[in-house]
């Protein structure tokens, strides 16, 4: 039984504007004219809902989609989304043949993964009467982040083996990519120079990738003309920004001409008048200063409201903001609304578009000691995704 059946409108809601996502992508396409836009919809589209967000991004003009793992990619294919699609985080026993059969580009970060892709092609070719099977791969190289990607001392051997497999018709290297740290301008310039060298190594090995990309949202917005001269890139991976959020410190969504796509709402479930000195929620970390009204909101840390929001984050009800009073619990938190009128059934907005008068996700994240990426991504599945074109 679904929440729609049990309630006229679920009391936990992530209201997502697909129009905002499409508009943001359209705006970003204009900004990165000449670059292939890869819209990143991993982690359930940063909490916004993968399938609906992917469709909105494609409607806005993205020509590629990016996800983390093969399960996320298969979810999109199962929903009928047949656009170009890349996934790049894999477990040691990933069955790559499922991705290859669904025309999904496999991001390869090691020689072992390259051989696993080749083995998957061999399995698919057994008994296949429809013609030869060829895998499409994109090789991810570590240019200084020390995370996923082929390490520098293995790049030559991976490129050489990839070229052998290309000649044999087993696979095609469609892309070459990396990732920047955003630690400092100097660090990123060093990584850019390293990646430029990697691109030359690929060319020297006989590889001819169609897509070359290193920049995610923050780096893409920070590219300088000098960087683009040094770096032969032709694609950008855009994640956070397509949802209308800024990856840059001190720069707002409005500054970038973007519109936040998500508004997280809870419903006031209980209202009570309490005397001065009343303890509120676990551990009584908050006690009322005087007689006051408390409003209970039906969202908690199971829904992505960090416990760190306790006694700090500001929530909007009826156009006024109130600080969370006491500990955030698993399913609920409390607001001290003083003598204001708040009723059961009122909507509490945790964050939304500041242009609509709501707290920003950045202000909420700051109160929790974290970043906007984490806040939207951790919105849990109990929060019903309600899609609008507003």
Please pick, among 42, 322, 358, 373, the residue that the annotation labels catalytic: 42
114 neighbors 165 (Cβ within 8 angstroms): yes
Of 32, 4, 354, nearest in space to 213 by CA = 32
CB atoms within 10 A of CB 15: 19
Q: Does the annotation place 136 within a ligand binding site? A: no
Cα–Cα distance measured from residue 373 to residue 165, given in angstroms and rounded to the nearest whole number: 38
Closest C-alpha among 244, 265, 240 to residue 355 = 244
Q: Which of 200, 272, 282, 284 is catalytic?
A: 282
- Cα(207)–Cα(100) distance, integer angstroms: 20
Catalytic residue status for 282: yes
Neighbour-count burial for 45-76, b at 16+ CB within 10 Å, e otherwise: bbbbbbbbbbbbbbebebebbbbbbbebbbbb
User: Is 147 known as a binding-site position?
Assistant: yes
Q: Is 42 a residue of the active site?
A: yes
Rounded Cα–Cα distance for residues 37 and 45 (Å): 16
Q: Would you name the residues annotated as active-site residues?
A: 42, 282
Binding-site positions for substrate? 147, 330
């Amino acid at each position: 039984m679904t929440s729609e059946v049990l309630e006229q409108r679920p009391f936990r809601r992530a209201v997502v504007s697909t129009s905002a996502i499409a508009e943001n992508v359209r705006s970003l396409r204009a900004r990165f004219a000449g670059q292939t836009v890869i819209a990143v919809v991993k982690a359930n589209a940063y909490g916004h809902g993968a399938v609906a967000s992917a469709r909105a991004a494609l409607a806005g003009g993205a020509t590629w989609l990016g996800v983390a793992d093969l399960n996320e990619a298969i979810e999109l294919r199962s929903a009928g989304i047949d656009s170009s699609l890349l996934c790049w985080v894999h477990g040691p026993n990933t069955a790559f043949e499922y991705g290859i059969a669904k025309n999904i580009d496999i991001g390869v970060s090691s020689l072992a993964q390259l051989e696993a892709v080749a083995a998957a092609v061999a399995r698919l070719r057994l008994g296949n009467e429809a013609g030869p099977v060829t895998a499409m791969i994109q090789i991810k190289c570590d240019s200084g982040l020390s995370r996923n990607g082929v390490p520098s001392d293995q790049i030559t051997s991976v490129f050489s083996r990839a070229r052998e497999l290309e000649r044999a018709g087993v696979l095609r290297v469609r892309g070459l990519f990396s990732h920047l740290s955003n630690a400092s301008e100097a660090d990123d310039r060093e990584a850019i120079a390293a990646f430029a060298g990697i691109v030359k190594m690929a060319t020297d090995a006989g590889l001819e990738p169609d897509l070359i990309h290193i920049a995610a949202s923050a780096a893409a917005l920070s590219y300088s003309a000098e960087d683009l001269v040094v770096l032969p890139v032709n694609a950008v991976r855009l994640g956070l920004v397509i949802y209308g959020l800024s990856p840059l410190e001190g720069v707002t969504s409005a500054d970038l001409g973007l519109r936040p796509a998500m508004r997280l709402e809870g419903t006031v479930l209980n209202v009570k008048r309490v005397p001065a000195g009343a303890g509120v929620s676990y551990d009584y970390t908050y006690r009322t200063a005087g007689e006051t009204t408390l409003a209970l909101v039906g969202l908690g840390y199971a829904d992505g409201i960090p416990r760190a929001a306790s006694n700090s984050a500001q929530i909007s009800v009826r156009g006024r903001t109130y600080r969370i009073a006491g500990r955030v619990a698993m399913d609920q938190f409390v607001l001290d609304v003083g003598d204001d009128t708040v009723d059961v059934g009122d909507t509490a907005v945790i964050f939304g578009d500041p242009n609509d008068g709501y707290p920003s996700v950045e202000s909420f994240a700051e109160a929790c000691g974290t970043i906007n990426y984490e806040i939207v991504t951790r919105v849990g599945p109990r929060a019903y995704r309600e899609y609008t074109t507003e």
